[in-house]
Amino acid sequence: MKSLKTVLATGVAVLALAGVAIAQEKPRVAFVPQLIGIPYFNSMEAGGQKAAEEFGVEFIYTGPVDANPIDQLQIVQNLVNQGVEAISISTIDASAIAPVVAEAKAKGLKLFTSDSDAPDSGRDVYVAQASDQGLGETLIDQLVSRIGEDAKIGFVSGDATSSNLNAWIKIIQDRVAEKYPNVTLLEPQFAGGSSDRAAQLASDLMTANPDLKGLIAVASSTCPGVGQAIETAGKIGEVLGTGYCSPNTARSYIESGAMGFTVLWDPAALGYLTVWAGKQLIDGKPFEASNTVPGLDQPIPYDAATGILLLGDPTVFTKDNVGNFDF
């Protein structure tokens, strides 16, 4: 329905040539995801929209079709040109927004990251779902507690260029090296954005390693492929799937037992917090060490040294609680 509206909007632009400048009174907060058309970012959009109504700002959600850094940069550049007061980005790659940071600063616009960081870019703040450390460690600790410390585990990731996915893999690898000497981690495999390739890689990993006990779907786009492959191979009970998967994506696999649990946060809450942070930046209000955000239950900590605003601990979704969530 929404896309239909966009067509109509384009049609109006191209055909009727009836242009009226949109009155711009409310300050604008934009969020640029890594790519559009995936449920995860759609939830963030919904949360952002809710916050926009709550805090009286206009919310803009726009992103590239593929996780392509140039296309993402072009979108950010466009928002800067439009003079959008606060622009948040889930960066595909940490270096990718470097070219526009200076320009945004010069124009007095607030440029910040959300969901995926670009630490040394000079961004104003990073709105984090949970610390990368927490995400990586929760996942591997939970997995090991279910399949034992003597286990072989494989990764199926998305794009090899995604810096947030690579960060989680790295943290898991470090944690294993430090805490679980008997766990063997296989080399990560990259499926790009395609879920059939993810299924193919997952199935090949299981065949290649008959003693495989765990499979981690690092990108949300690889979750259905990993779950499906475990079901198809008839390995439920032998191989435990997990990953950073939303409850809706993973529900049928968690119920079938192909996935034991998944780790994620509420992306809608992250979108909500992102827009709130944008509004704070526009108003020039500093972040406190602990912030009360209207509409969110828990207080939101801010670490001034790293410039990170933290949504909270990740949620672990299992058979018992997966029915309570809808995102």
Partner 1 sequence: MLAKLAQRIGGRELTLLAAVVAAAVVFASLSPVFLHPNNVYAIIRNSTELMLIGLGLTFVLAIGGIDVSVGMILGIAAIAIGNLLLAGVDPWLAALAGPLVGLALGAFSGTVIVLGRIPAIVATIGLLGVYRTTIFALLGGSWLSGLPSSLSEIFAARIAGVIPTSYIVIVVAYAAAFVVLRRTPFGLHLLAVGNAEERARLSGVAVRKVRIAAYMVSGALCGIAATFYIANYRNVEMTVGSTVALDAIAAVVLGGTSILGGKASLLGTALGVLLIRMLQNGFTIVGLPSLWQPVVTGVLLLLALTLERAAVAGLFRRLGGLVAARRTA
Partner 2 sequence: MMAATTSTTAKLVLLLVLFAGILASFALYEPRFLQPSLASTVLQFASMLALVALGQTLIVLAGGAGIDLSVGGMVSLSAILTMMAMSAGVPEAVFPLVPVVIGALLGAVNGVLVTKIRILPLIATLGTLFVFGGLAMALTGGASLSGVPQWLVPFGRGNLGGVPWHVLVLVVPAYLAVAGMLTFTPWGRWFYAMGHNERAARLVGIDVDRIRFLAYVLSGALSGLAALVSLAWFGSGRPNIGQNLELESLAAVLLGGVAIFGGAGGVLGVLVAVLMIVTLKTGLQFINVSAVWQVGIVGALLLLVLLVDLIPIRRRS
Q: Dihedral sign for Cα 22, 62, 283, 106, please.
A: negative
Residue 217 touches partner 1, criterion: CB under 8 A: no
Site string for partner 2, 165-184 (x = CB under 8 A): -x------------------
Residue 65 touches partner 1, criterion: CB under 8 A: yes
**Residue 23 touches which of partner 2, partner 1, none (CB < 5 to 8 A by kind)?**
none
Contacts of 22 (CB under 8 A, 6+ apart): none
Residue 141 corresponds to which amino acid? D
Residue 322 touches partner 1, criterion: CB under 8 A: no
CA 239 to chain centre: 26
Distance of alpha carbon 31 from alpha carbon 178, whole angstroms? 37
Selected from 46, 60, 233, 316, the binder of partner 2 by CB under 8 A is 60
Residue 292 bridge partners (DSSP): none
Positions 14 through 33 that interact with partner 2 (CB under 8 A):
14, 17-19, 21-22
Nearer to partner 2, 191 or 259 (CB): 191
**Residue 96 touches which of partner 2, partner 1, none (CB < 5 to 8 A by kind)?**
partner 2
Residue 203 touches partner 1, criterion: CB under 8 A: yes
* Alpha helices in the chain, H assignment, sequence order: 2-11, 39-55, 69-82, 98-106, 132-147, 163-179, 195-208, 223-232, 247-256, 267-283
**Residue 305 touches which of partner 2, partner 1, none (CB < 5 to 8 A by kind)?**
none
Residue 316 corresponds to which amino acid? V
Nearer to partner 1, 225 or 260 (CB): 225
Phi, psi values for residue 152, rounded to 5°: -105, 130
Q: Which two tokens stand for residue 179?
A: 């805490």
Q: Which residues are at the interface with partner 1 (CB under 8 A)?
A: 1-4, 7, 36-39, 42, 65-66, 160, 186-187, 189-197, 199-201, 203-205, 207-208, 210, 221, 224-225, 228, 232-233, 248-249, 251-252
